[in-house]
Amino acid sequence: MERSIQELIDNEDHEQISQVATNRHHKCVGLIHVEKFAEALKIANKTSFEYFYCLYKLKNYKKCLKKMRKAEREGGITGDPSGVQLLKAQCLYFTGKYLSAFRIFEKFDDSTICINTAAAGGLAIASKGKFLHKFKPEAKEFVDDKIEQEILSILKDKEIDQDDKQEFDFNLTFKDLNDESKFIETLEQNSENKMVSNQLKNVTGDFENLDESILTKRSAEIVKANKLGVSDIENPTLFHKKNRDYQLFFDIQKNGFKEALKDRRLTEFTLLSKVMACTKVLHFEKAQKILEEMNGDSVLKRNISIILDKNSTQDQIKSILANLEN
């Protein structure tokens, strides 16, 4: 005998609900629980929490925010108000609006939510500097010293459960990202925290002593990229050991040739960026000169024919980048 939809709901049999439910809301919720977000989105009420949650899970953060604002103007969003606000904060966070995200998160005292509050607050403080803007150009919200102190004061007053404190303190270290030496110093001062200790080993290249058992999926990807010496993650983050150089290199392939040529740093990565910039604008003689002026038998010199070939693939160049670490 077939079970009723209520029995399926009571037993949380979401797979069955997603297949047999005729009520759109029930079916939508069932699809969400089995992580079929694209299907759920098609049948979700466009003013419901479920609709916006699907957009969020599909990483359509900007679209989600835009649609949420429209729904709020035109009558509101159905669903738990707290859940709606937290969803909005998450979307703001992932679009680089860290201060706006913080302003929502700070209203909640739940210890697990405070983990997100620390991350948003830390990155809001970091967004004062130019470094963060280079990787999150959309993070243009104004943060000054007064706001920084306010953020730190709010975070200091949060009551954090012991189980959440490690991640809370880890996220708060983000505030020093703009100053590499200060960031490392902050990590060293908090190295009794296992997550912070792992971060320190990641950014300093001490991979042999890094505890991979406690890495999140994302952190594991970043460590893998650092080990390889290339930035092959879809959205490069602030925690790549040589992220400033990688990001410059990959960015100038698209547009920033003049900016790359102005850069005065003398690492092999930035030199490679300048060479690639030259080849893109057909300044082959200048590119050749940069390579020839390098000291010793460098990896770049040995790969000069690949580097100067304007048809070289990104995989070929990534391979050269990886060899720079060896």
Give dist(CA 28, CA 8) in Å, integer.
14
The DSSP call for residue 48 is B
Give dist(CA 251, CA 259) in Å, integer.
10
Domain with 143 in it: 80-178
The pLDDT of residue 325 is 45
What amino acid is encoded at 267 in this protein? T
Q: Which of 6-15, 49-58, 184-193, 216-225 has the highest mean pLDDT?
A: 49-58
Burial label for 52, CB within 10 Å (0-12, 13-18, 19+), is: buried
In a domain, 108, yes or no: yes
What amino acid is encoded at 130 in this protein? K
Same domain for 265 and 294, yes or no, is yes
Same domain for 86 and 28, yes or no, is no
The pLDDT of residue 257 is 44
Give dist(CA 198, CA 215) in Å, integer.
8
Same domain for 11 and 96, yes or no, is no
3-state secondary structure of 326: coil
Give dist(CA 125, CA 118) in Å, integer.
11
- The residue among 178, 194, 219 that closes a domain is 178
Under the banding of pLDDT at 50, 70 and 90, the label for residue 237 is: very low
The tally of CA atoms less than 13 A away on the side-chain side of residue 203 is 21
Give dist(CA 197, CA 170) in Å, integer.
9
Same domain for 20 and 101, yes or no, is no
Same domain for 84 and 44, yes or no, is no
Under the banding of pLDDT at 50, 70 and 90, the label for residue 260 is: very low
The pLDDT of residue 307 is 60
Give dist(CA 189, CA 175) in Å, integer.
14
All residues at 6 or more sequence positions from 254 whose CB lies less than 8 Å from its CB, including other chains: none
Q: Which of 36-45, 83-92, 134-143 has the highest mean pLDDT?
A: 83-92
Length of the chain: 326
In the chain, where do the E strands start and end? none
Residue with the larger pLDDT of the pair 69 and 34: 69
Same domain for 70 and 88, yes or no, is no
The pLDDT of residue 228 is 58
In order of 5, 212, 284, 309, the CA distances from 279 in angstroms are: 64, 40, 5, 8
In a domain, 164, yes or no: yes
Tracing tokens 């890495």 back to the chain, one arrives at 215
Number of domains in the chain: 3
In a domain, 191, yes or no: no
In a domain, 227, yes or no: no
Same domain for 108 and 37, yes or no, is no
The pLDDT of residue 200 is 82
The pLDDT of residue 199 is 83
Same domain for 95 and 169, yes or no, is yes
Same domain for 90 and 49, yes or no, is no
In a domain, 312, yes or no: yes
**What pLDDT, in 10s, does the model give residues 292-322?**
555 544 665 566 666 656 566 666 666 665 5
Does the pLDDT at position 44 exceed 80? yes
Across residues 173-185, what is the average pLDDT? 83
Structure token pair of residue 213: 């058992």
Same domain for 59 and 118, yes or no, is no
* Percent of the chain residues topping a pLDDT of 70: 57
Structure token pair of residue 147: 């706001």
Q: What's the mean per-residue pLDDT of the chain?
A: 74
The pLDDT of residue 205 is 75
In a domain, 206, yes or no: no
The 8 Å CB, 24+ separation contacts for 15-19 are none
Same domain for 67 and 86, yes or no, is no
Residue with the larger pLDDT of the pair 7 and 169: 169
In a domain, 317, yes or no: yes
* DSSP per-residue letters across 69-131: HHHHHTT--BS-HHHHHHHHHHHHHHTT-HHHHHHHHTT---HHHHHHHHHHHHHHHHTTSHH
Give dist(CA 31, CA 19) in Å, integer.
8
Give dist(CA 238, CA 123) in Å, integer.
10
- The residue among 178, 194, 209 that closes a domain is 178
In a domain, 201, yes or no: no
Could you count the other beta carbons within 10 Å of the beta carbon of residue 313? 10
Same domain for 277 and 293, yes or no, is yes
- The residue among 57, 75, 93 that closes a domain is 75
